[in-house]
Structure 1
Amino acid sequence: MTAADPTMAALTAAVERGRAGDRLGARERLAELWRQVGPAGDPLHRVTVAHFLADLQDDVRDELAWDERALADVAELTDERTARFDPGMQVRGFLPSLQLSVADCHRRLGDPVAARRHLAEAEQLVHVLADDDYGRLIRAALTQIRDALDEGSTDLLRAAP
């Protein structure tokens, strides 16, 4: 990673807090970061905060709203901006995970048509991911969500993106 980015550092700390079991504290911290960044703030910050804030919601409808916000905001994100944070990062690398998150929310809400539409978008984009831990995680989630859709399941999946 390149230049220090205090917002991304605070975001990472909040995500780690949530993964350590403090979902409420992490959600509150990310919501505070969202207020600081604002709707016209740095697109990298908006996309990342919204994407991770979605994972901390207790209601799938709220999760979907945050995931859709992240997906909408990624349209303003540029490779130039992502490279200032991490030279190897590109916008297209965000898209499979964002599409899968939206697909999984629609699946859990019982809307297989919307879920399959977003799953198809993710399937068309997944080739941009490297064969690394992240790429394998997203490919496994794609398979898991597709299988759950085929089974008609609306259950929460353990390893969804």
Structure 2
Amino acid sequence: MTTSPAGPDPTMDAIGQAVTEGRAGDSPSARRKLLALWATIGVTGDPLHRCSLAHYLADLYEDPAQALAWNIRALDAADALTEQRAQEHHAGLRIAGFYPSLHLNLADDYRRLGSFEAATEHIEAAETLTPRLPQDSYGDLVRGAIREVAGAIAAQDRTRRASAPGSPA
């Protein structure tokens, strides 16, 4: 989705910078920066900040239990986020578009932990919500990952996906 920011948001900028650092290979530094931001934001802070930060921070953990904790925080924050707040950040941003990815991530974490019943619940939620995804490369990426995780759940495969965010290239 290509939209213009509605106004400056230093916290979202700091989250973005840490994410870029993590994607460039310095996961420990990115994790430290995001954890420091989390300490500032707090568990009752801006839901957009909490959702974004937790969503990206989960990708920086190899341990699926640690990733799961952050992905749960991301989903909880999304549930507290209003459309008005989302659109203050980006005029075209819609909360509904967050949920397929959030449920996908939870399904993948539960799958890696061997909790296939919980994984199935979340992958089914992600599949149900795919119509909310944009018809673009991001939507295609999430839809493909949903199919991949669904197949791994069916096979009761607990291995980390090579295509998962944060996986070594």
Give the TM-score normalised by the residue count of structure 1.
Answer: 0.97
Residue matched to 2:49: 45
Listed as ranges, the matches of 1:9-158 within 5 Å are: 9-158=13-162
Q: SS state of the match for residue 70, structure 1?
A: helix
SS of residue in 1 equivalent to 2:158: coil
| Residue type at the aligned position of 1:110 | G
Runs of at least 5 residues in structure 2 that lack an aligned partner in the other structure: none
Query: Letter of the aligned partner of 2:84 in structure 1?
Result: E
For 1:139 and 1:58, the matched residues in 2 are separated by 23
Q: CA RMSD in A?
A: 0.9
Amino acid aligned to 1:36: T
Contact 1:77–1:91, Cα closer than 8 Å, also in 2: yes
- In the superposition, the TM-score normalised over structure 2's length comes to 0.93
- State how far apart, in whole Å, the 2-side matches of 1:159 and 1:3 are: 33
Alpha-carbon distance in structure 1 between the residues aligned to 2:105 and 2:76: 13
Question: Match of 2:120, SS?
Answer: helix
Deviation of 1:25 after TM superposition, in Å, equals: 0.3
CA contact (8 A) 1:37 1:46 kept: yes
Q: What is the count of residue pairs matched by the alignment?
A: 161
